[in-house]
Structure 1
Amino acid sequence: MAAGVVLVAGCGSSSSDAGSDGGGAAADTAAAEAMVAKYGEPLTSVDLPPLEKTPEAGKSVVFVTNNIPESQYLAEGSIAAAKLLGWNAKSIVYDASSPTGLTAAFAQAVDEAPDGVMTNATNTTDYAAAAKEFAAKNIPVVTSNTTDPIGAPIIANVADPSQYELAGKIVASYVVAQKGDEASVAMFNIPSFPILKAYEDAFKAEFLRLCPDCHYESHAVQPGDIGTKIPSQVVSAIQRNPSINFASMGFGAVGTGVSGALASAGLNDTKIIGIQPTTENLEATSNGTEDMWLASPITGMGWKSVDALARYFNGEDVEVATKAQVPFVIITKDNAEDYMPRAEVDGGDYEAVFEPIWKLN
């Protein structure tokens, strides 16, 4: 989702940047390797301090989200976390490809009149009427994977642009560490998710900083084309430019069907990389058909969203929920099996992680 890329209905669009005029400057592989080395450790911390007191039971919360797998992981975490606190929790799911699904889902959330709302991957500008209602009724909203600033009704953003900018720098570093001056990237991203622009902008800037003469191009794709049109779009891009050795996905589900399409076309030298892998991406990485995914604890973001509401209801500082660092880990064939089926803190045993934080034991 590079700046300047325009989404064309029914197809992908692209822009190309062959790199700045670096005058033959060598790639800074040492800096790239140093960045990569920082993110090979297991996910062990949610970076949150304990609450001052146990949250009150009986709250009613809803999670509004799209039907993309990564979002469902996040929703699952939020529902499980809310139930651990003795809250009534409900997930409202809409089709990401539907032109009216999002607004209808948020209208339903308004009608539910909950104590708190959680959402992800959609900004308040996309549900402006509902956001106004939430603010008027003092219903707090916790968001994630958006560019929303903190301000009514948003009380916390547990995966904000700064986290995605860091992710972009890490993935760009991986590419340069692997291929140096020969690195050539095609990015496939979804402009309807504003947070992905922050990711791609950071990726592109860091990639061309580390390797000024390397090739970079961007392709806008659509949620409704995941697993259908996107694989052929990737194949076409690489056939047009066979030098591309990394096809970078905006997030895991974007890569659905891509490895098979590349293999069928005989394009075996292009590696698939990205962020926020699904279980299927981890399986593909384990068997070598996909190369690298930068993982963060997506289910854990759901737990952190509930934690933010708990702090708000307790009258405690909520700012920490936004500032808490999202942990990242680089997953390749060498360690993919260690993170199956998902890359989560302490293997996903979040009850054990949050019980002491929430003073439940």
Structure 2
Amino acid sequence: MAGCSNAIEPGADGGAVGTAAQVASDAAKRLSDNETLPTTIGITEPLGEAPAASRTVYWIAPNIEVIQAQTEGFEDATDTLGWTLVTLPVDSADPQAYASAMKQAVSQNADFIVASGASADVYGDGLDAARSAGIPVIDEYSTDEPGGEDNGIYANVGGTAYVEEQVGALADWVIADSGGTGKVAFVNIPDFPILKAAGEAVSAQLATCADCTLVPIDASVADLTGGGIPQLVVSTLQSNPDVEYVYLSFGDLYSGLDSALEGAGLRDKVKVLTATLSPSQSALVASGEIAAGVPNPQRYASWVAVDAMLRLDQGMEIDQDEHTLLPVPIFTQDTVPSPPGEWAGPEGYEAQFAALWSLEQ
């Protein structure tokens, strides 16, 4: 359901072959499955029995705007089950925040813990505490490999394979749109492990295009929270006047960018595209202000994480591919749904999950 594979394995030999036109044609073919919205969820096996009536889920939520949809998705999924959700906000720039929150969840007898955008080395002794207490941890948007009892992490929704699909598709869009000659500045925050993997995937994908050029802009969490991203982009574009595309690794990086580009006289010289397109940014795709973007179905991702918890609760196997890969549609002016807004996931995904979970709707 994530479409055909657009991503090249980071570190693989991505040597480009063929003319620019052929490379662009190949990229366009790879994008064919990203042009339509999926209608079904990616999980197919029903639960073995009705869900337990009461469980408590602790959700460790980093303090960035894009996380709000995930929180609301967890609220909806746990409400559907009659479960209790406890949300623990954390400061992404604080290296101890995740571990402290995880230990708090353990001390308060969580049944499940879910965290987003971090990794096992960041969880540290918090993950050790969860493992010792027998509390499963579910990752979202992490580079961790689920190891179950071996490492305490039982699923990784939207993990590395999904991110490689997502950013690889947008890199292919640049290759196809530019006729195989795209010059792109990729704006990223590699302090987040999953975004470091995204940067590697973009680099590998663009390496298949001999006449394409990648200019990395590696920012920090402080740059994001302090509003420094727009000036970093403007300065880079002024130093690299041949750049034609500004590619953002996630939608929050767009804040303030349009006005900064306009003020520097650069707005009409570049096309902006972004992974993890926010709901409000879909309207900007419709107007042409953002050329292309991949919506991240974060509400749906939260339901996928809860589905993994249900399967653990019943001693069932988790299909890691089904629980890692999310849909990767690309929105442009021609394909963005009307009216534009949040794309939460396949239409009717809540009812489809309820049917898998043997719930009456």
TM-based fold match above 0.5: yes
Residue 23 of structure 1 deviates from its aligned partner by 10
CA displacement, residues 211-270 of structure 1 (integer Å, 9 cap, x when unaligned): 213211111112232271101111111111111111111111112111221122111121
Q: Secondary structure at the match of 2:178?
A: helix
CA distance in structure 1 between the aligned counterparts of 2:115 and 2:16, rounded to whole angstroms? 42
1:339 to 1:304, Cα distance in 2 relative to 1, 3 A: farther
The CA deviation string for residues 119-149 of structure 1, in whole angstroms up to 9 with x for no partner, is 1101011011110000001100111111111
- 1:41 aligned to which of 36, 39, 45: 36
* One-letter code aligned to 1:121: G
Q: Which residue of the partner structure matches residue 113 of structure 2? A: 117
CA separation in 2, counterparts of 1:278 and 1:21? 33
Task: Output the amino acid matched with 1:182.
Answer: T
Code of the aligned partner of 1:250: S
With normalisation by structure 1, the TM-score equals: 0.88
Partner deviation per Cα, 1:80-137 (whole Å, 9 max, x = no partner) = 2112111111111112234543333233222222011111101011011110000001
Shift of 1:27: 5.5
Of 23, 26, 30 in structure 1, the residue corresponding to residue 25 of structure 2 is: 30
Aligned: 1:229 with 2:228: yes
Deviates most, 138-147 or 104-113: 104-113
Query: 2:263 maps to which residue?
Result: 264
Instruction: Verify the 8 A CA contact 2:311 2:318 in the aligned structure 1.
Output: yes
Q: What's the TM-score, normalizing by structure 2?
A: 0.88
Cα distance in 2 for partners of 1:154, 1:146 equals 11
Aligned positions, number: 341
Q: Distance in 1 between matches of 2:334 and 2:186?
A: 24
**Structure 1: unaligned runs, 5 residues or longer:** 1-18
CA 188–357 in structure 1, closer or farther in 2 if over 3 Å, else same:
same
2:217 to 203, 215, 219: 219
Matched, 1:328 2:292: no
For residues 26 and 17 of structure 2, what CA distance do their matches in structure 1 show? 17
Take 1:277 and 1:112, find their aligned partners in 2: how far apart are those partners? Answer: 35
Question: Could you tell me how far 1:314 is from its partner in structure 2?
Answer: 1.1
Whether 2:133 is the aligned partner of 1:137: answer: yes
Amino acid at match of 2:71: A
Does 1:299 pair with 2:295?
A: no
Q: How many Å separate the matches in 1 of 2:339 and 2:52?
A: 34
Check conservation: 2:42, 2:322, Cα contact below 8 A.
no
Q: Which residue of the partner structure matches residue 166 of structure 1?
A: 165
> SS of the residue aligned with 2:34?
coil
Give the corresponding residue for 1:200.
Answer: 199
User: Hey, what's the Cα distance between the residues in 2 that align with 1:290 and 1:75?
Assistant: 26
Report the residue type matching 2:311 in the other structure: R
> Higher mean Cα deviation, 179-188 or 223-232?
223-232
C-alpha change, 1:99 and 1:197, in structure 2 (3 Å) is closer
d(CA) in 1 for partners of 2:37 and 2:20? 35
1:68 matches 2:67: no
Letter in 2 for 1:317: E
1:37–1:103 CA distance, 2 compared to 1 (3 A):
same
Partner of 1:190: 189
1:147 lines up with 2:146 in the alignment = no
| Contact kept in structure 1, 2:139 and 2:155, CA below 8 Å | yes
Deviation at 1:25, TM superposition (A): 6.1
Query: Aligned runs of 1:176-187 on 2, under 5 Å?
Result: 176-187=175-186
Cα distance in 1 for partners of 2:278, 2:320 equals 27
Cross-structure match for 1:281: 281
Structure 1 residue 317: deviation in Å? 1.1
Between the aligned partners of 1:61 and 1:298, the Cα distance in structure 2 is 17
CA contact (8 A) 2:276 2:293 kept: yes
Instruction: Write the letter of the residue equivalent to 1:258.
Output: L
Q: Which residue of 1 aligns with 2:358?
A: 359
Distance 2:210 2:272 in 1: 22
Number of the residue aligned with 2:314: 314
SS of match in other structure, 1:345: coil
Aligned to 1:10: none
Task: Give secondary structure in 1 for the equivalent of 2:88.
Answer: strand
Counterpart residue number, 2:11: none
Gaps of 5+ in 2: 1-13
| Residue type at the aligned position of 1:29 | A
* Pairing of 1:239-250 with structure 2 (within 5 A): 239-250=238-249
User: Are residues 1:345 and 2:345 paired?
Assistant: yes
